[in-house]
Each structure stands twice: as structure tokens, then as C-alpha cells.
Structure 1
């Protein structure tokens, strides 16, 4: 649908403004004809966007729940005056930073997915608005997953580094697995959306065709 809109906008830019509102034999403008002919494509796009947003919003909500709970169950516990026992450790500071980053980015992702679900889904929304929301939501979801796994690794390092140092590297590999899988599964779609939304137009400009 985005490509169809880009095609329509490109053709519209070549046509004199007086013809853009000219009506055909059915008393319809080019815009009205385009909207009518693409009703099915708009419905299919709306269904896909809503299904994608609904699925991803569940994952983002789960991350919010996990990292919010982790922020109040600090690794190592607190001493008598409430100060975290491992406050001076760099790994503890890494846990705090990445847990907060995971929390904020997952909330941002949920808000963007909600924005997708509540969009009116007019044809023009598929040109910039919806693709941009999906790009931002996918990026923030990836950041939240990556940050959550870093926070998990930092927690494991704080609690187990003295007893089982040999497990640090295997745990690091296991922690990177979900991030890698998400990147592999979503990277193609994300790069495609970025390219079609922000990349060079597939249509030549007026200067290139000598208009």
C-alpha cells in the first residue's frame, strides 16, 4: 500500500494542479478513484498491522512486568539502612542502567503499538504515519529485549561470579540468543520498511526527466 501511495503521489506531482481535481465520467476525482480501487489493499494492510501490533505489544508488556519487578528485587539485597549491598560494583550499576533502559524502551514500544492499533487507517496513513510508528516500535522493542538480557547477565555476574566463574561465558552466549533470534527474524522487515520510507524514491524526479 505504501508503494501504491508513493506511485500515486509521484504521478500527482507531474500533473498540473487543475487536473488533480478534475472529475471523470463517474463524477470522481483521481483521489477518490484511487481510494475506491485500493479499499481491499487498505483492509489487508490494516489487518496485518493490527495483528503485528497485537502480538508485539504482548511481548513488550511482559518485559515491562519483568524489569519493573527486577528493579525492586535488587541482586544481593539491601543492608540495614536500605543501601544495596553491591552498590559499589560496576556490574550492579550496569544492572540498574540497563534495567531502567529496558523499562523505558518497552513502555515506548507499547505506546507506539497502541498508536498503531488506534489509528484510523485512512489510505494516507500508510504512506508515512503507520510505517514510522512500526519502525520506532520495532526498534524500541529490540532495545528493551537487549537491555533486559544485559541486566540479566549483570545480575548473574553479581550473584555467581565467585562460585562459578566458568559459567560466565556460556551464560553470556545464552543471554545473547534471544536478541540474535529477534534481530534475525525482524531485521529484514525493519530494513525494508526503513528503505521504503526513508530511502531514495523508486520514481525519477522532475529534474531527472527534464521537467
Structure 2
């Protein structure tokens, strides 16, 4: 389980940052930044983990509670599908993380980032591979980012119901890929991603035939 050791090694305010949504064929990439200025309550620390390991109901419960924890600051940022297509998913992920940190109501002295690359946050930072399973701040950020992104995809699903986004969050499931064949590409699809790009090329070929 994640713990608070990395945060305690640094003085001042430490933010944990993580992003969600690099792999989907549709939707934005979303990042969150979380600061526990007064530490993490023991009962909350006992259930916070990498968002991928938690059931949706648990993620939702944690996300609902986090804003009410004393000393907690939360920032959320995103990069749109247009930005993903323009600057690629790697740079868009960094942009979302920078926006999340910029939207914190406090300025962190240090940032812990899940992964092995560090965006420019304007302060000292440390990359931690597998950080969402190591640092409580990063794990909390992964939960917030996942919950926010899932809610976005659920709202988009109401307008574009063929693709199953409420359940697959934009990932390339069989249902999603089948819908691409029959319903086509939406404005929310990442047009530079291979599966989507090939479908667009196929549709152009059919139109010319």
C-alpha cells in the first residue's frame, strides 16, 4: 500500500501528481494534483491505493471525501483531444499535469510525479516509477483524475451512446471498435491514434469508391 514517506522527506508543501487516459481512443487526458498539508487520516490512508486497483464505488467514495480532509488541496487539469492530436499524447499528458498543479489553491514546494519523466512545474520535482502504488499523494491524485475522467466520458456517452464510453471510458474495447466501423469517428476521437486513423482512411476510401 502507498505511504507518506516520500512526502515527509521534503519540507514544505508536497503535491502528488498523476494522469489518467493516455491509452483511450477518445476523450481528454486528465491529471490531478493533491497536497496533504496536514497528513492523511489513518482510515483514509488505509484505503487509498493506485486507482486501477480500486473498485469504482471505492474510488467515488474517496474522491467525495478528499476535498473535506483538513489541509487538503486539489487541482485538476486536462488536455483535449485536439491538443492530443496536435502535440501528441506524451506532451498532452505533461500539459494536463502542469495545468493540475497550476490550479492548486496553494503553491507546492515540491512535486512527486508518477512515471519517469518530469514536466516543468516551476519548482523542484521527483519522478517515481509506479508512484501511484508508493506515494499516498500520487495515489490520491490518480483516484481524483480517474473519477473526473470517468464522469466526463459518462457525460459524453449520453450524446454519443454507440461507443459504450460510460463503461469503457474511451478505451478500444470490442464494442468501441465495432461502433467506429458502423457509426464512424466523432469529434471526441483521437484522430492521430492508429485505430481511429485507419478507420478514417477506410471511410475516405469507401467514399471515393
- What range is the shorter-chain TM-score in? under 0.3
The alignment's TM-score, normalised by the length of structure 2, stands at 0.26
Structure with the bigger percentage of helix = 1
The alignment's TM-score, normalised by the length of structure 1, stands at 0.26
Structure with the bigger percentage of strand = 2
Kindly name which structure, 1 or 2, has the bigger radius of gyration based on alpha carbons: 1
For CA contacts below 8 A with separation 6 or more, give which structure has more relative contact order: 2
